[in-house]
Structure 1
């Protein structure tokens, strides 16, 4: 297919599109960004307002971030968790988003070694025991009973998402959260059926996806957020990611994949690109973590140059190996990159920082496709999660 033919056949990113059983009003997804606006694992009015702003701003679907399937799976004790007590707030949120004409997805998962055990009052689970520098504590090796329980809890979360009115769930297989940590040969040194070969390391993630599919059927869409590259030596890498994608396609467990990268444990900036806000991170951390960031932060929070569509080269290799619908994430800030994604065979695009800067960017791009995002990729929004995720360059109401 020639470039001109590919361009001519590319879908309109702002036209309605099917995602599993759901029809989105356009192909733009607000990516999951931890909002920092839940309290006691429950929805707040502020969290609803956050997603309503993005829905009113024109996205096809907004994603509620990090809805933990188990209490020890929260990154901190405030984070949303699937419980009977949380359902009324979840319903209020989905109803408010639907009233603006957008769909809404819930990101479901287990933080695993990324969880803060001191905040949760519970050990952080991982494939094995190791010392977590950020929380200055040891993880606990997940037992077979833990893994079976967590698989089932993902299915329960999918069922509860239907009850709460969500249009989709996004299973978190990225960033060295629990499922991703099992995929990583750097972190997963187990000798049982969950460690060693890629087939064994992928067993947990595949079991989760199949459990969710078995519990929800085709009543809502199922996405998975999958690392293509952990960004650390010895970690999960693209060639293994492509094989996992093939298995997920064979299993029939997901309707689409959102492709991501980086490790919240070892190299978080690998996903974000742009500036590393070391001073800002140190400013919100307690001691002795603050001192650690000041002394050694540049070795963990590395700075990578930003460019539009910066995950495209790796994602293009995945695109060539699967027929699954794919979501292109990373540096989608203008109509040019959206059109490029469509031309390259991706079905959807996901945006995060650009929408934090301008929640109405999609509406404005539909009126004037030549406008440019105001996001400067300073990444100071990463630090804002501790008081409510936002672009720090946007003045707050008095």
Structure 2
């Protein structure tokens, strides 16, 4: 064991449960369940992979205690009937064989349920919706609350029968119990509303039912939004007050944060530091002297170790980090930190797929969240020579995958460094985590003797043909989209002009002062690229305007990023002009059209961020050069169509393996 992480890899006992280390996998919705709410084989494989990777405690995602009224998510696990026990037992049995302790999170969605899915009006503490624009629920009666509390107890008993070592009650994140605890959603005037003791009453009923059902030897965990981070919501002090009435029934406090309107602090935005929420865990731990779980963008084993050493918490909660790398614990324990595939907090494959997308869980940087490294068992049966053009993330994943399959691989890169656009974008302070992915790929590539990387090589069809390849992968990426708008190209090329692209911002990132008060910045394009520019300049005090041709800004972004964007816009008074088209670019102003009327908008800095477009300058030449050759030709990533990192990573892994198989090499 690496002695640097002695706190992280020390055991912890709570009631009748002993965890082999201090890492807890946080409960995260996955949409991997079957339509009827049972565990799928893929679902079991997903959790078993994290148990095999050394995780000490696995908290299975929130499971419905009352269906359909309390259901949440497109395909959510259920535990409201005994028929769900066998598949849940198969899960715990599989994970226990790897030494993991198993917990499960019991939940009722309350007002966060959707009538379109449940077929009924949501229920809650009062008529207040769980988020702006959400459905208005109906208040629950005392009799109904007693019945729901009993449902929690019955669910807890089933969980123990299914082999779970711990039961967690979800009392945060704008779900039903949270809707009673939070003043923002509870305006009752009876015994369940008003003072902290009354607002905690329903949670206490649930705790008592659960404790009665599981007996004295099974630990009970309570997940909380310790600081709700919304106006009028519970602060840490408010949380500590209502916990006075719950503390004696709880063994572990799972200290989360935020509500639906502040989801960027519940599902951490990428700019938030490792362990930024640990002050919440420390406050609860110091007052109640019970084990707490600290969470919040914890990516580095050293950061986790430091939090434990300081006494902020007793357990480290890792969620998306274990989606990205199921072997996080094993690698940290060995001291092999450089090989950890650190989550970049992009929220694309996890949050974006699941919330709003209604798709199963995926990961931008881990192309197989349920299969892990099983692809490495596929090996070539005869010599295979692979050439990859472009060393961005898609090209690096393709090159590494082919080399791991036993191919002889040459990776050609025009620049003097590898990593592509990810390296460039990570120079924006709020995007610094993005650099972790190309760093991981660089480390992975360095360990492969059959992979040669040549930088400073402008790959051409003739150069590639000289390697006599059996498979060619084109991954030359994308460039900024710059349409033929009047004056755009001329002014971008003019040093006397104040018109720039995203690449200009990156190249000069250190030249902008921290205080830009009095400066006017106008950004054309309300997609992810334009928002990166806004989020760079607006906090520096610049008078910032964003212009979007579509009716809304941030199309296609995940829920956490949208919430973060809105917070930034409101806090820094960013002007938003939607349904507005750019007509002409002048050296120091934009001519735009809105509702048939033109206006001239002067600026000190004007950025045109209309997205990216595919850049595949050699693809046609490749198809001609290898016409008649019995080889494979692949075009992947942004060089096909400008998309997201997740699409290129997925293609770099799966399309390469599938093509090698089709060509008869695997």
Fold conserved between structures, TM > 0.5: yes
Task: Tell me, in whole angstroms, the C-alpha distance in 2 between the residues paired with 1:202 and 1:11.
Answer: 38
Secondary structure of the corresponding residue to residue 231 of structure 2: coil
The answer (yes or no) to whether the contact 1:36–1:387 under 8 Å persists in 2 is: yes
User: Could you say which residue in structure 2 is the equivalent of 1:269?
Assistant: 264
The answer (yes or no) to whether the contact 1:63–1:105 under 8 Å persists in 2 is: yes
Structure-2-length-normalised TM-score: 0.52
Tell me which of 48, 51, 67 is aligned to 2:63.
Answer: 67
Tell me which of 162, 165, 185 is aligned to 2:163.
Answer: 165
Change (3 A) 1:133 1:375: closer
Moved over 4 A (4+): 131-136
The answer (yes or no) to whether the contact 1:17–1:26 under 8 Å persists in 2 is: yes
Tell me which of 1, 23, 34 is aligned to 1:28.
Answer: 23
Tell me which of 263, 267, 272 is aligned to 1:306.
Answer: 272
User: Could you say which residue in structure 2 is the equivalent of 1:120?
Assistant: 118
Secondary structure of the corresponding residue to residue 50 of structure 1: helix
Task: Tell me, in whole angstroms, the C-alpha distance in 1 between the residues paired with 2:181 and 2:129.
Answer: 19
Task: Tell me, in whole angstroms, the C-alpha distance in 1 between the residues paired with 2:136 and 2:241.
Answer: 31
User: Could you say which residue in structure 1 is the equivalent of 2:389?
Assistant: none
Of structures 1 and 2, the one scoring higher in RCO (CA 8 A, sep 6+) is: 1
Secondary structure of the corresponding residue to residue 209 of structure 2: helix
Tell me which of 241, 253, 258 is aligned to 1:257.
Answer: 253
CA deviation map 1:357-387 (0-9, x unaligned): 1111110000116446521111112122232
Secondary structure of the corresponding residue to residue 244 of structure 1: helix
The answer (yes or no) to whether the contact 1:306–1:377 under 8 Å persists in 2 is: no
Change (3 A) 1:135 1:367: same
Secondary structure of the corresponding residue to residue 227 of structure 2: coil
Task: Tell me, in whole angstroms, the C-alpha distance in 2 between the residues paired with 1:268 and 1:225.
Answer: 16
Change (3 A) 1:29 1:132: closer
User: Could you say which residue in structure 1 is the equivalent of 2:14?
Assistant: 19
Structure-1-length-normalised TM-score: 0.85
Secondary structure of the corresponding residue to residue 262 of structure 2: coil
User: Could you say which residue in structure 1 is the equivalent of 2:288?
Assistant: 322
Task: Tell me, in whole angstroms, the C-alpha distance in 2 between the residues paired with 1:333 and 1:132.
Answer: 30
The answer (yes or no) to whether the contact 2:171–2:225 under 8 Å persists in 1 is: yes
RMSD (Å) for aligned C-alpha atoms: 2.0
The answer (yes or no) to whether the contact 1:14–1:25 under 8 Å persists in 2 is: yes
User: Could you say which residue in structure 2 is the equivalent of 1:384?
Assistant: 353
How far residue 219 of structure 1 moved from its aligned partner, in angstroms, is 3.2
User: Could you say which residue in structure 1 is the equivalent of 2:127?
Assistant: 129
Task: Tell me, in whole angstroms, the C-alpha distance in 1 between the residues paired with 2:122 and 2:267.
Answer: 25
How far residue 206 of structure 1 moved from its aligned partner, in angstroms, is 1.4
Change (3 A) 1:133 1:254: closer
The answer (yes or no) to whether the contact 2:51–2:99 under 8 Å persists in 1 is: yes
The answer (yes or no) to whether the contact 2:31–2:73 under 8 Å persists in 1 is: no
Task: Tell me, in whole angstroms, the C-alpha distance in 1 between the residues paired with 2:74 and 2:143.
Answer: 23
Aligned residues: 358
Change (3 A) 1:240 1:134: closer
Secondary structure of the corresponding residue to residue 247 of structure 1: coil
- Residue 355 of structure 1 pairs with residue 322 of structure 2: yes
How far residue 148 of structure 1 moved from its aligned partner, in angstroms, is 0.5
